Amino acid sequence: MRIALVAGELSGDILGAAIVRSLKQRYPQAQIYGVTGPRMVAAGCETIASIDVLSVMGIAEVIPALPRLFRLRADLLRRFLQDRPDVVIGIDAPDFNLGLERRLRERGLRTVHVVSPSVWAWRQGRVKGIARSVDRMLCLFPFEPQFYAGHGVPADYIGHPLADELDDSVAPAEARAGLGLPPDGPVVAILPGSRGAELKYLGEPFAAAAALLARQHPGIRFVTPVAKPKLRQGLEQVIRSHAPDVPWTLVEGRSRECMRAADVVLLASGTATLECLLLGRPMVVAYRAAPFTAWLMLKAGLLKTRYVSLPNLLSAEPSVPELLQEAATPERLAAEVSRLLADGEPRRHQLGQFHAVRTELRRDAAGRAAEAIAGLLSA
């Protein structure tokens, strides 16, 4: 038996490694190979190309990489059509993988895609292409299979690998010690995002909100993980300009430790909100984008969901404040954070919802993925 995998991004390597281990338990003699990261290699997956080739984000970064990506897709298509693996599994990287999967499926190979793109939220027309590309979609969120069922795409819910990895067992005091922060007093983690554009739009209101909170809560401290070294200068500048006397610690990476150390987290909408939920930390979510982008998403109907943050999309009773565009003012941000710093009903309600979501998502995602793949192979 041959099983091919094509993983993209760090998260794909982590999930891919767990899937490889589960598949090896079921098929110890199988040849498992593909586009891998170091964790997949350590799990026993043979490398034919590095995951680094697919780890490209943003328009400016993608354009010069296009010739390399096209060559890789052509090489993989040629290799898999020659080898005829029993199944080809694409993990994340939908812009690359779904196109490859469609070409392979048209030529008679079975294909599985792990990690659904957010077609339920925006650009729903993409589901027609997905239907042509995959024999099975493996979803991380419980509401996704129902969406696919309405479009004739076989889909299984496997749970989220982060829920298998993260929990709220680390106390804030322990995390603060690891970051060199004082054990006492309120701490707010501020995560304006990992991209320059996010810092451009959220840096000023977040810093100004911190200045307001510092006046309202004596002894409060702030901590921010610096996602990329090139963002540090911009962060330092916005703090100097809008919160010059506020006790603020910048940490290289270590976003999870920063969230664990916090009483409340103020952050940009994105994957970090799910991590924050799984770590059991109350949060306020904000987002600002270029005016035209915001108009397309919020006014022109491109966004198909009522909420933008994953915690609200996943919770039975949405409880996370979402301040978008003009609503993300320093005054409103500070007010919502203050509300959660108090040990009252808003804080307890959030944490109760987070616990329920964490329990739902913790399903042994890799094991369930291997089970679904095995079902397809035996069909």
User: Could you tell me if 238 and 293 lie in one domain?
Assistant: yes
Q: Is residue 227 part of a domain?
A: yes
User: Could you tell me if 155 and 259 lie in one domain?
Assistant: no
**How far apart, in whole angstroms, are the C-alpha atoms of residue 365 and residue 370?**
9
User: Could you tell me if 367 and 357 lie in one domain?
Assistant: no
Reduce the DSSP state of residue 62 to 3 states and report it.
Answer: helix
Q: Is residue 165 part of a domain?
A: no
The phi, psi pair for 136, rounded to 5°, reads: -155, 135
User: Could you tell me if 202 and 178 lie in one domain?
Assistant: yes
Predicted confidence (pLDDT) at residue 291 exceeds the cutoff of 70: no
CATH of the domain at 58: 3.40.50.2000
User: Could you tell me if 112 and 245 lie in one domain?
Assistant: no
Reduce the DSSP state of residue 156 to 3 states and report it.
Answer: strand
Q: Tell me the H-state helices in the chain.
A: 9-26, 38-42, 59-83, 94-106, 126-133, 144-149, 161-165, 172-179, 196-216, 232-242, 255-261, 271-278, 291-294, 310-314, 330-341, 345-361, 365-378
Predicted confidence (pLDDT) at residue 296 exceeds the cutoff of 60: no
Structural domain of 80: 2-159+363-378
Residues 252-258: what's their mean pLDDT? 93
User: Could you tell me if 347 and 374 lie in one domain?
Assistant: no
Q: How confident is the model at residue 59 (pLDDT cuts 50, 70, 90)?
A: very low
Q: Who has greater pLDDT, 300 or 277?
A: 277
Predicted confidence (pLDDT) at residue 295 exceeds the cutoff of 90: no
The number of folded domains in the chain is: 2
**Number of helices followed by number of strands (H, E) in the chain:** 17, 13
Average pLDDT, the chain: 90
pLDDT at residue number 60: 46
Q: Is residue 346 part of a domain?
A: yes
Q: Is residue 167 part of a domain?
A: no
User: Could you tell me if 137 and 186 lie in one domain?
Assistant: no
**Percent of the chain clearing pLDDT 70 (strictly above):** 90
**How far apart, in whole angstroms, are the C-alpha atoms of residue 253 and residue 363?**
28
What is the tens place of the pLDDT at every residue in 18-55? 999 999 999 999 999 999 999 999 999 999 999 887 76
What is the tens place of the pLDDT at every residue in 321-335? 999 888 999 999 999
What is the tens place of the pLDDT at every residue in 132-143? 999 999 999 999
Residues 136-160: what's their mean pLDDT? 94
User: Could you tell me if 201 and 227 lie in one domain?
Assistant: yes
User: Could you tell me if 176 and 297 lie in one domain?
Assistant: yes
User: Could you tell me if 199 and 64 lie in one domain?
Assistant: no
User: Could you tell me if 103 and 220 lie in one domain?
Assistant: no
What is the tens place of the pLDDT at every residue in 190-232? 998 766 667 787 889 999 999 999 999 999 999 999 977 888 8
Q: Is residue 188 part of a domain?
A: yes
User: Could you tell me if 178 and 153 lie in one domain?
Assistant: no
